[in-house]
Structure 1
């Protein structure tokens, strides 16, 4: 069966993000944040995916034997055409948001002409006392080769006698915006323009003409050999240092720049024509995240986390878990319960051992601090730290060093695999307590990602989790998993067999249903099996937030939801002749998740909890406010307003009153 290209599908998803920035029903500052999210997403896409396609193109040119199922030149052409189309709408949306913020007395100045004269003395003082300390002009004429830091913004300043200089904008040191109050208005001035205003101070002997913004994206994917030999940590540390040396993947320049100057820059930077992409006056607009305005009409209504009475009323979360399982939904319910779980385990004298997997740790991780305390309190603490988590390698390594220094046993990445599971196990002499999650053990992202987490002492699940940790610690081969579905230990086969079982049921004239909710759907054999199931009469519902390589049809629809929180939980439902099976977990249905990572999916065995998950899935399937249908042409199509359901709002209200609904 034909499939969507994964990279073009991702661009379709990012356009759905842009749609939120264009949605007039979204509060203005939130629309600006979606502009920032779109910009950040696109930037990473060029640093990783486009760079990877370019690398494949070079491999093709060298006639190296590597099997790929696309033409790199054609795909790059399609990517650039789609991005160009999206950036036109992006620019229009940003202009509209900025104009509407002005009406609310918040002025984001997008040109030095928009800066009130009354602020000029204040800005001059700021430039002389702060900004100028970080400026190091480089003569473009004297530099034999020009080196630009990855993702940094620069100004190319032209002066009399065809002189030109390159200045790095120190937004990493000073922030991107200078904020000023004037009467009852607030002004946000780009650091770029603070520098533009004072070029005569920086170059007192030159007649400065213009200043143009440029930026260079480089290949940011670490090239790590996944063999057993050698020091993997040292390799990763070296590769992080080299990330700034990656080959170019996109050079953005101000469209107002003249061709002669552009030619000089591309020569100095050794760029090819396909590296060069026209941009605007400002780059790195993910810096809009730095603009904070606490005015109710400009931001989403605050949602107070829903209390879980049993956990709040008890002095011991471990004793609560001994009495019953707890299924939590973040951020609707507080992540504090997870922090309390680790905090109590670190001081409970009966706890002997704690095992945890980390994929992306919070920079100021309270969980990490709890584990350090646990080790100092004499407990055996083992942490599997994934140091190949893209863009989090350095933070994860830093935490690994800190925990190891406190006596925590640290196990690093496995050769050829990433450990993407989100699990923890606390052991007492007589009992084991498991935490199984769909999202990272990261209290910061838990505030904005929609995820699920289960606390349980289920003997079968905790025993199997203990076996998995033994595998990570010692390479021990665990017995077959009967309760958990674990990638590298039959996860792909488990999912295929469950789909086949639903096919057999529908062929026997029985009701058959499958619901799959993932971030990404790419694995071709599973996609083909879903096609087969739907063609044979199985009711298949797919909720896919981002990449979806499956092409929808009349029998097989795909819902995509983008709202104030990032949909991140993975859910797998199989009707099973009424003996409903529900699994939650960390695994998307992608090649990497099922074949090159260790993932854990866990069953929900409690009937009320099953109903809770099914109710949430129902809201998501019916969402006609923030949900769209993915079309066979890869477009995001708004559904007819049939239900008036906004899934995230409905989920919050449902959990508040714990309604009992059926999907």
Structure 2
């Protein structure tokens, strides 16, 4: 598991998903949220298999070829895959145990999730009628034994494997497949219930109940049906045909993704053994494949949308408008006067939309340039940009078509934007544009004013309600100059990264950020060796870059105090004997997803503070366009530091990161309980109140 004093990244990620599972197991978490965490765990694991396990399997094929050529390969993919299989099976058992406990809790709230065998007469009549009116037209049963090959199985779908018998003969049986039409109908159906009670049936059980009805033509009298799903390699292979455009290659790649090799087969352990063998054989699965037995229910990701029928509602706090933006002034006018930092999801996302709407209507605004990675399905950001284009503004959108699992949505946005006269940039070959940037130019008389923002998170008003991010709204000339340089590069990437290298204020990937980060760490080492105070605070989603981790090891060994807050992957072995007295590492998993990246370097008392879109991973630093912006406003610097120090004191939702991957909670005995997300909300709300009382903007 350990190599070069590092934790293997995929094993570290599984440890992160175990922290998500801990939330589902926490009785202090509201029941609906516990079910949602089971859904998040399941969805995370699906993506892990589609991306990381698929990559390891590709590496395994490649390593076999390398062995034949006597070439050395640093990591042993098969060893990692074996480790993954062991860990995932243990987590699946824990998942099932937690779910059984939650079912008991649901019964206490008089919420009953029942199957087709436990319906009363009224409910049976309802299910027959519901099937005929809503479900029947959405299913196509397939008699798979008569087909020359197994039909195409969708990656995110669940299937019922049906075995039909006749009581008169043990030999007379048939196999069939039914895709459960969750996307068209939804997974949860509320049944007729007594007052104060709620009975729910899953869509697959509605189908199960009606199997005699569906297959009445064949005159079978016994039906067994069990759920299974297939997870496939999600890699998009782009062909090298120079005669096709990048968009055509993406479209072809998305179609070919459907043909991806299966990387996991999950099934109900009660499935008929003959059908199981038939399916695994037809899918070309072997003993080395991830064949995972499970319970009756699969695709738990749908449980993120479990019906809200609970007696005890979630106490989720509503976002509020930043005190500087509550006046009668337009957002634009405030930003031109001073920097403002929004902290989502505590602050409302609306001012960002308002900024773009104001620009769309402002006759003095000449252009809007913005990057877009992941967007909401009914994006208000896009609507504002379209209105700006209709009003004669030059609108340029850098739309990342390679944003994983958002490729199809972004292709659709491309068509919509271009129809409205928006210029769409499609990025740089073999590189993703992950920076979150916007620049708006307005001209009044002879004066040009530029303003915009740099953010750690996506321009997605839906996820802004649950993702913890920071967004700096600013008219700082140096920042705007660098954003202009980045957009110049994105529009003219064939000329090389010269414009990125000219950036003086923003730290930018892939050209200079790595070098600058190494220099910032080295600066702290220099101060520590000279006997001066030296410290580094990093808040990241992931820390896996070997070069930077080894530099942090050097810093800790030199006496630099290092505090890490890492949500998911953390490959650093922070409890090594030589460095552990100088390093603390925690992970916070709570109601909101901690998505922000913040870096604070002590710099002999003249702290350098940045927010960034980039994690400390090779892919971010070397293969993406990213940006980190310095925070210079004294008030914002204090506010950001206060928030980070609240998180460092978390002893309710913070887990200790160590090489054992034990995920132990930070001890709280004898201390005031600090749940950082609640404390941060109260802190920012109080800030708003104080500014309101003083009348300051």
Q: Normalising to structure 1: TM-score of the pair?
A: 0.97
Within the alignment, does 1:610 sit opposite 2:615 as a pair?
no
Shift of 1:326: 0.5
Does structure 1 retain, via aligned residues, the 8 Å contact 2:35–2:306? no
1:56 counterpart SS class? helix
Instruction: List aligned pairs for 1:294-373, cutoff 5 A.
Output: 295=310, 297-299=312-314, 301-373=315-387
Q: Which residue of 2 aligns with 1:590?
A: 617
Instruction: List aligned pairs for 1:499-648, cutoff 5 A.
Output: 499-553=521-575, 554-555=580-581, 556-641=583-668, 642-648=671-677
Q: Which residue of 2 aligns with 1:136?
A: 140
Shift of 1:135: 2.1
CA distance in 1: counterparts of 2:459 and 2:176, whole angstroms:
46
Please, which moves more after superposition, 241-250 or 571-580?
Answer: 241-250
Shift of 1:608: 1.4
CA RMSD of aligned residues (A): 1.7
Q: Which residue of 2 aligns with 1:166?
A: 177
1:356 counterpart SS class? strand
CA distance in 2: counterparts of 1:612 and 1:296, whole angstroms:
37
Q: Which residue of 2 aligns with 1:189?
A: 201
Structure 2 CA distance for partners of 1:336 and 1:296, relative to 1, 3 Å:
farther
Within the alignment, does 1:461 sit opposite 2:479 as a pair?
yes
Pick the aligned partner of 1:96 from 73, 95, 101. Answer: 101
Q: Which residue of 1 aligns with 2:308?
A: 293
CA distance in 1: counterparts of 2:213 and 2:19, whole angstroms:
44
CA distance in 1: counterparts of 2:659 and 2:599, whole angstroms:
23
Pick the aligned partner of 2:492 from 457, 469, 474. Answer: 474
Structure 2 CA distance for partners of 1:397 and 1:67, relative to 1, 3 Å:
farther
Does structure 1 retain, via aligned residues, the 8 Å contact 2:341–2:472? yes
CA distance in 2: counterparts of 1:572 and 1:466, whole angstroms:
24
Contiguous gaps of at least 5 residues in structure 2: 166-171, 691-697
Shift of 1:59: 1.6
1:34 counterpart SS class? helix
Does structure 2 retain, via aligned residues, the 8 Å contact 1:522–1:590? yes
Structure 2 CA distance for partners of 1:296 and 1:40, relative to 1, 3 Å:
same
1:658 counterpart SS class? helix
CA distance in 1: counterparts of 2:242 and 2:309, whole angstroms:
51
Within the alignment, does 1:153 sit opposite 2:165 as a pair?
no
Does structure 2 retain, via aligned residues, the 8 Å contact 1:226–1:416? no
CA distance in 2: counterparts of 1:422 and 1:82, whole angstroms:
35
Does structure 1 retain, via aligned residues, the 8 Å contact 2:485–2:503? no
Structure 2 CA distance for partners of 1:72 and 1:594, relative to 1, 3 Å:
same
Does structure 1 retain, via aligned residues, the 8 Å contact 2:161–2:275? no
1:201 counterpart SS class? helix
Residue by residue over 1:237-288, the C-alpha shift from the partner in whole angstroms, topping out at 9 and shown as x without a partner, is 1111122211010111221123322212222222222332212212101111
Q: Which residue of 1 aligns with 2:79?
A: 74
1:396 counterpart SS class? helix
Shift of 1:298: 4.1
Does structure 2 retain, via aligned residues, the 8 Å contact 1:3–1:551? yes
Shift of 1:576: 0.6
Please, which moves more after superposition, 338-347 or 153-162?
Answer: 153-162
Shift of 1:198: 1.3
CA distance in 2: counterparts of 1:45 and 1:488, whole angstroms:
25
Pick the aligned partner of 1:485 from 498, 507, 510. Answer: 507
Shift of 1:36: 0.3
Does structure 1 retain, via aligned residues, the 8 Å contact 2:96–2:295? no
Residue by residue over 1:275-330, the C-alpha shift from the partner in whole angstroms, topping out at 9 and shown as x without a partner, is 3221221210111123231646242x131222323312134111111211101100
Please, which moves more after superposition, 398-407 or 473-482?
Answer: 473-482
Within the alignment, does 1:431 sit opposite 2:431 as a pair?
no
Does structure 2 retain, via aligned residues, the 8 Å contact 1:157–1:208? no
**Runs of at least 4 residues of structure 1 off by over 6 A?**
64-67, 226-229
Q: Normalising to structure 2: TM-score of the pair?
A: 0.92
Pick the aligned partner of 1:400 from 414, 434, 437. Answer: 414
CA distance in 2: counterparts of 1:514 and 1:480, whole angstroms:
27
Does structure 2 retain, via aligned residues, the 8 Å contact 1:179–1:188? yes
CA distance in 2: counterparts of 1:643 and 1:577, whole angstroms:
31
Please, which moves more after superposition, 27-36 or 145-154?
Answer: 145-154
Shift of 1:115: 3.1
Q: Which residue of 1 aligns with 2:693?
A: none
CA distance in 2: counterparts of 1:116 and 1:626, whole angstroms:
43
Shift of 1:445: 0.9
Does structure 1 retain, via aligned residues, the 8 Å contact 2:63–2:73? no
Does structure 1 retain, via aligned residues, the 8 Å contact 2:433–2:626? yes
Q: Which residue of 2 aligns with 1:25?
A: 28
- Number of corresponding residues: 658
CA distance in 2: counterparts of 1:650 and 1:481, whole angstroms:
37
2:204 counterpart SS class? helix
Contiguous gaps of at least 5 residues in structure 1: none
Shift of 1:154: 1.1
Please, which moves more after superposition, 34-43 or 273-282?
Answer: 273-282
Please, which moves more after superposition, 27-36 or 214-223?
Answer: 214-223
2:571 counterpart SS class? coil
Does structure 1 retain, via aligned residues, the 8 Å contact 2:375–2:459? yes
Does structure 2 retain, via aligned residues, the 8 Å contact 1:311–1:337? yes
Q: Which residue of 1 aligns with 2:168?
A: none
1:599 counterpart SS class? strand
2:274 counterpart SS class? helix
Residue by residue over 1:167-221, the C-alpha shift from the partner in whole angstroms, topping out at 9 and shown as x without a partner, is 1111111111111241121111011111111111111221223111111111112
Does structure 1 retain, via aligned residues, the 8 Å contact 2:518–2:548? yes
Q: Which residue of 2 aligns with 1:448?
A: 466
2:44 counterpart SS class? helix
Within the alignment, does 1:60 sit opposite 2:63 as a pair?
yes
Shift of 1:568: 0.3
Does structure 1 retain, via aligned residues, the 8 Å contact 2:109–2:311? no
Shift of 1:564: 0.4
2:184 counterpart SS class? helix
Q: Which residue of 2 aligns with 1:48?
A: 51
CA distance in 2: counterparts of 1:254 and 1:294, whole angstroms:
28
Structure 2 CA distance for partners of 1:125 and 1:332, relative to 1, 3 Å:
same
